A and B are shown apart, each in its own frame.
Chain A
């Protein structure tokens, strides 16, 4: 079993839809959880950063962490064509100061106008 599992998609939704992206993980020691957005041929861009369990909201984006289920989610409200990208979840035990971010494979999202 891989440490982080993420459905690669592709996921196609109409503009305005609510998008739900998810990752599961096996290492219960993970405490830091991140979502990155990666456009084609570009580096990942940090979207959300969460420590431990709970919810975090930033504009149209909401990140949820359920450590008891080892499950994290990213919700995108009122999705836009500009949201079309690959979304990577990442997590670590010690935080960003060490390189041991473990990434999911990424989910490719397409938002159709």
Chain B
């Protein structure tokens, strides 16, 4: 199956700082990538759709100025959590579209102190 990587796998930061998470499709080109968030014992919730070369599309209730998404190439999308707060602590997972379905990265666990 297709391989998607994420970096870092885990990050701890102080409240008010910004954190950047990278998502890469390693063996295929993805014009569309997706960012999800998963809280403990909850399902994945789509945050935004990232399109190469254009602005991301955010789901209702997701602040676009807080969660900055850049999809600069067909294999890389980044999510920057700006001015992170403890309530932003979660498991962030990206996925990349390949033909029929989505392949997920291993996730990034963010803890904001």
Contact = CB atoms under 8 A, between A and B. Distances in A.
Interface of A: 8, 32, 34, 36, 41-46, 49, 88, 95-101, 103-106
B43 A106 contact: yes
Given A88-B43, A100-B46, A46 B6 contact: no
A46 B101 contact: yes
Contacts of B93: 43-44
Kindly list the 9 A-B residue pairs having the minimum CB-CB distance in the complex, ordered from nearest: A96-B101, A43-B104, A103-B43, A99-B49, A99-B34, A43-B107, A43-B106, A105-B43, A44-B104
Interface in B1-35: 1, 4, 6, 32, 34
A61 to B, nearest CB: 14
A97 B107 contact: no
A44 B2 CA distance: 13
25 contacts: A8-B41, A32-B101, A41-B109, A42-B107, A43-B93, A43-B105, A43-B107, A44-B93, A44-B104, A49-B101, A88-B43, A88-B44, A95-B100, A95-B101, A96-B97, A96-B100, A97-B32, A99-B32, A99-B49, A101-B46, A103-B43, A103-B44, A104-B43, A105-B41, A105-B43
A105 B42 contact: yes
Contacts, number: 62
Given A36-B104, A88-B44, 15 more contacts: A8-B41, A41-B107, A42-B107, A43-B6, A43-B93, A43-B104, A44-B44, A45-B1, A46-B102, A96-B101, A96-B102, A98-B49, A99-B34, A99-B102, A103-B44
